[in-house]
Amino acid sequence: MTATFRLSNRATEDARDDATRAMIRVVLAFFNDYPAYGLLLYNGERIILQRVQGPGGIDSDWEDWAEMSGMRQLVAGLESRRLPQPLL
């Protein structure tokens, strides 16, 4: 399955943060409902979430997750690690 999320370049920083949190929330809910291999690509090339087994992991090199308000709580329980980046 493929889903596309688009964030407006003209949106305020707060609106972009809200949209990014919503995107992460939706993908984690999908991973929960369909426990199989999956990933979330940012800009079609950077893997920021990956699920192979268990709850999955978040890319430790993706700085937004650590800096964005409310994101740490949203990804609590995910392992923060450097994910492979075969498309970069």
Q: Residue 58 falls within a domain, yes or no?
A: yes
- Structural domain count of the chain: 1
pTM: 0.86
**pLDDT by residue (tens digit) across 21-50?**
999 999 999 998 988 899 999 888 999 999
Q: Residue 61 falls within a domain, yes or no?
A: yes
Listed in order, strand segments (DSSP E) in the chain are 38-42, 46-51, 57-59, 79-81
At 27 the pLDDT is 93
Q: Is 12 helix (H, G, I), strand (E, B) or coil?
A: coil
Q: Would you say residue 3 has pLDDT above 90?
A: no
At 22 the pLDDT is 94
Which residue range forms the structural domain that includes residue 51? 13-81
Q: Residue 2 falls within a domain, yes or no?
A: no
What is the Cβ-side half-sphere exposure of residue 25, based on CA atoms within 13 angstroms?
Answer: 10
- Mean pLDDT, the chain, integer: 90
Q: Residue 1 falls within a domain, yes or no?
A: no
Structure tokens at 63: 């700085």
Q: Would you say residue 55 has pLDDT above 80?
A: no
